[in-house]
Amino acid sequence: MFDHILHIKEEDELEQIADLVLSNYPDHKLILLHGALGAGKTALVKRFLKSLAYDGMVQSPTYGIVNEYNFLNDEVEEKVFHIDLYRINHVSELVEFGFEEYLMQDARVFIEWPDIGSDYYPEEHIEIHLSLDGDKGRKISIKANRKH
């Protein structure tokens, strides 16, 4: 069951999604992004970073697997990892590039194509499902997983 289901027509509206998640779940540092190619996962990460006061360039980490962003947000050092697991074919590859270490740092972590890493995720995380909704734009479904 999702906590929020939203429909947006324009990509600029993704900033509202980022603001909603950051304000309602400020302690959830891990955000898992599900969706087909072109659904808007990287575009949403760009909006999250903008909402966190990052003003630099944001690119998809598909080939490098991980992009790291370090910046000041209201004079507080902020670290963000943007991870794309699309090209990961086996769980052993996660170990090879140190996947678990990224999750253990005091940082926000956004993961595209997260399914292969599911054994590593803490109980407390956000899942966002993005899908194209025909001529209506995009459907965004948000679920906050909390510690029991």
CATH code of the domain covering residue 30: 3.40.50.300
- Cβ proximity of 7 and 137 under 8 Å: yes
Q: Three-class SS string for 53-100? A: CCCCCCCCCCCCCEEEEEEEECCEEEEEEEEECCCCCCHHHHHHCCHH
Q: With a cut of 80, say whether residue 33 has pLDDT above it.
A: yes
Report the domain count for the chain.
Answer: 1
Would the pLDDT of 135 be above 90? no
pLDDT at 148: 59
Mean residue pLDDT of the chain comes to: 92
Structural contact between residues 135 and 7, judged by C-beta atoms closer than 8 angstroms? no
| Domain ranges, residue 62 | 4-145
pLDDT value at 39 more than 80: yes
Q: Contact 56/71 with Cβ under 8 angstroms?
A: yes
Q: What pLDDT is recorded for position 38? A: 87
36 by DSSP, 3-state: which? coil
Average pLDDT over residues 18-31: 94
